Amino acid sequence: MLLRYAEPNKERLMARTQAILGDRVSAKDFASIIAGDLTTIEELPQPLARRVLDLTLPEQGLEAIQGKTIDFLEVANLDLARAASRSVMRIQVGQSLGTGFMISPTLLMTNHHVLPDFISASRAKIQFDYENDIHGAIREITEFNLEPNRCFLTSPIDELDYTIVALGTRFRGEKELSEFGYLPLSAAGNKHAIHEFLNIIQHPEGSPKMIALRENRVFGRGKKGFTLYYGADTLPGSSGSPVLNDEYEVVALHHAGAPMNDKTFEDGRQAASGNEGIRISAIIDHLQNQMPTLPSEARDLLNAMIQTKFRGPSLMFDPPFEAYARSQKTSQSEQGVLEADGSVRWTIPVHLSIKVGDIAAPNKPVTKAISQPAIIPQQPAVAQLENRRPLPDYETRQGYDPMFLGVELPLPKPSKVLTKQLLKIAANQASIGDLIGAPKTVLHYHHYSLAIHQARKLACFTIVNIDGSSHVAIKRDEAFTPSQTVLEALEGNDVWIDDPRIPIGSVTNQKWYSSNSRFFDRGHLVRREDPNWDPAGDRDFILKCNDDTFHFTNCSPQIWFFNQRTNHWLGIEDYVLGTARAFQAPITVISGPIFKPDDPEIDRMQIPQTFFKIMAFIDSQTNQLSHQAFLASQEDLMNMQRPARELFEAREAKIVYPEAFEADIQEIEALTGLHFSLS
């Protein structure tokens, strides 16, 4: 039986088949395979037979195959895919998102329409490992900036639509650039054939890294010679993704979801639909033509990239199966040692598990484990800069002033049960605020104080003085500075620090937030702007007050949608601060989470679903201490199920006034175990 190949070009078919088979078959068998002899193909090792059969027309195939495609895939292919994916990154420029990948130890490639010029490259954030692990949590992200002054080469969107640029320095995360590997490019034109499968590793809509496997077949080449057409699932944000064959060679640079630069196939057919990629062979040709005009450093970097030979991701990356193989090697401790008396000695590890009967487990809160909220939209880009670090002169922190309103409003008083659960502060870490008799469970900062729940590793309350008459709106261009050449960043790039007055690990820190940054903000309990005031107008001191809010002690995990939308928590914050500024009045604000035994657990941390905020002030009509209390919940956002787009759009459009969140202070006291001296 003879099969028919989909590739019409005999020379290309021979080159592609040779690339698959290498020197594994004789010249006679190779000729039979090219002729489509099914018997010879069936005699190949199964993985090779499958690769060759992939090149045949869909209606042909082995009798036992169901459907029109040969879908066997070696498990090792998944290791290759995982290894190749390491070099693929998300690119963020302001609110624009795209994909890119490393093509050498120094250079990355993406589309021109993702990074069109020096300015966009200077502002870009390169985010590696923006992907979910097997538990659905975002891995710890490593971020770099770019150095277009070292190398920047581009071709317009209506031509080859590529940009190659040099990576710069790391400004977030712990991994070295070398750990992400790279995908070498090849000028060879035999890396694909019509009807062959392709794989695309991408960040569709800026989401965590995805891979489109199989069923993404090549179905045409553009007449102009530099485009490739294929069917695959892609979305905005996929621009700049590598298009790879089953050996994980880069075949094309993905750039459009429809024919764009060349709408006619090489055989004269019209390209009416399908994805369009720019063939790597065409890009390499263009690079070589541009080389003589480039600065010396850029020329050297590109030359080194072009001369790199493809050896497969398994040699370029150190994929998981290689690490596993190394772990299986016999260690010296497992080998017998011949002693002088002729005996043989082994050193072996011993692990014992002993059950001594039923032992009552200590009492602990009942928790329900939930996965990451699968449908919360990805946090959008917000133009922000990197904040300054708080100064370590903690002895100068006055903390909350109980007489700030002209009448005494003491610190919230915890119940006896809650008092036992508060983190104790060492006596030698006292600050000025302690001189007024504050308990040693309270940490003091500029204009605010807080107490930490020892088991939950979050503040159980914060309390801040706000002077509306001397409040200063600190803009980020004054209190925040660029991180090297990074001029724009997300809220997620704010730098938070541990308070050295308490033991490391006493509060939830960056490791947890990095793993869960897709959904959770590091939500300020004392808002960044609240303590930014000084009657004397000392600008430097006001900046220090701003800086002081970036302690992890003042941080609680909040769904970004809850934290950043005016119809949720942000609306309450705006109302409170706006009241103080509008009336030029002093107010005191108490905020914190509501801890419940059944709060959902993510990465071994229980997430508060509800937060409270209390605004205390002197009523201008009665001249008496008064208050307004609020409760806001993020529970519905954490528990939403698909489909959710319509629900989010409805919530976004709905105007919710702060009064809708008003609550009774006795209810908050019952929920928190705190007494606020306001009722």
Single-letter amino acid code for the residue at 294 = L
**CA distance linking residue 470 with residue 390, whole number of Å:** 22
Rg for the chain, CA atoms, rounded: 31
Instruction: Give 27's Cβ-side CA count (13 Å radius).
Output: 0
The residues that bridge with 662 in the sheet, in sequence order, are: 630
Single-letter amino acid code for the residue at 383 = A
**CA distance linking residue 85 with residue 83, whole number of Å:** 5
Is pTM, for the whole model, over 0.85? no
Q: pLDDT-based confidence at 28, cuts 50/70/90?
A: confident
State both tokens at 402. 């109980």
State both tokens at 265. 């196939």
- In order of 164, 201, 232, 338, the CA distances from 281 in angstroms are 15, 19, 21, 60
Q: Quick one: pLDDT at residue 635?
A: 86
Q: Quick one: pLDDT at residue 658?
A: 67
Q: Quick one: pLDDT at residue 630?
A: 94
**CA distance linking residue 57 with residue 5, whole number of Å:** 6
**Of the ranges 137-151, 300-314, 443-457, 477-491, the best mean pLDDT one:** 443-457
Q: What's the fold here for domain 386-675?
A: Extracellular Endonuclease; Chain A (3.40.570)
Q: What's the length of the chain?
A: 679
**CA distance linking residue 496 with residue 522, whole number of Å:** 9
State both tokens at 131. 């992907």
Locate CATH 2.40.10.120 in the chain: 78-317
**CA distance linking residue 562 with residue 613, whole number of Å:** 14
101-115, 180-194, 207-221: which range is least confident on average? Answer: 207-221
Instruction: Report the percentage of the chain scoring pLDDT > 90.
Output: 32
- Picking from 525, 510, 381, the residue whose alpha carbon sits closest to that of residue 445 is 525
**Of the ranges 37-51, 138-152, 183-197, 215-229, the best mean pLDDT one:** 138-152
1-15, 399-413, 585-599: which range is least confident on average? Answer: 1-15
16-20, 199-203, 499-503: which range is least confident on average? Answer: 16-20
Q: Quick one: pLDDT at residue 158?
A: 83
State both tokens at 238. 């996929």
Locate CATH 3.40.570.10 in the chain: 386-675
3-state secondary structure 32-90: HHHCCEHHHHHCCCHHHHHHHHCCECCCCCCCCCCCCCCCCCCHHHHHHHHHHHCCEEE
**pLDDT mean across residues, the chain:** 77
Q: Of residues 475 and 414, which shows the higher confidence score?
A: 414
Q: Of residues 400 and 648, which shows the higher confidence score?
A: 400
* CB neighbours of residue 468 within 10 Å: 18
State both tokens at 55. 């090149």
Q: Could you give phi then psi for residue 638, rounded to 5 degrees?
A: -80, -25
Instruction: Give 676's Cβ-side CA count (13 Å radius).
Output: 30
Question: What angle (nearest 5°) sits at the alpha carbon of residue 39, between those of residues 37 and 43?
Answer: 120
646, pLDDT greater than 60: no
Mean pLDDT of 276-297: 87
Q: Quick one: pLDDT at residue 581?
A: 84
Q: pLDDT-based confidence at 431, cuts 50/70/90?
A: low
Instruction: Give 58's Cβ-side CA count (13 Å radius).
Output: 10
Quick check: 389 and 472 in contact, CB under 8 A? no
Residue 26: which residues within 8 A CB-CB, separation 6 or more? none
Q: Of residues 446 and 380, which shows the higher confidence score?
A: 446
483, pLDDT greater than 60: no
Instruction: Give 8's Cβ-side CA count (13 Å radius).
Output: 7
Helices (H), 252-319: 280-290, 296-307, 313-317
Q: Quick one: pLDDT at residue 322?
A: 39
Q: Could you give phi then psi for residue 284, rounded to 5 degrees?
A: -60, -40
631, pLDDT greater than 70: yes
Secondary structure percentages of the chain, helix, strand, coil, to 5? 30, 25, 50
Single-letter amino acid code for the residue at 539 = R
- Picking from 492, 671, 503, the residue whose alpha carbon sits closest to that of residue 599 is 671
* CB neighbours of residue 327 within 10 Å: 8
Instruction: Report the percentage of the chain scoring pLDDT > 70.
Output: 73
Mean pLDDT of 570-577: 87
Mean pLDDT of 60-82: 60
**CATH number for the segment(s) 78-317:** 2.40.10.120
Mean pLDDT of 178-207: 81
Looking at residue 99, what DSSP letter applies? E
Q: pLDDT-based confidence at 644, cuts 50/70/90?
A: very low
Q: pLDDT tens for residues 488-545?
A: 333 445 789 999 999 989 999 888 888 776 678 899 999 999 999 999 999 999 999 9
Q: pLDDT tens for residues 309-366?
A: 655 543 344 433 333 333 333 333 344 444 444 444 544 444 433 333 333 333 333 3
281, pLDDT greater than 70: yes
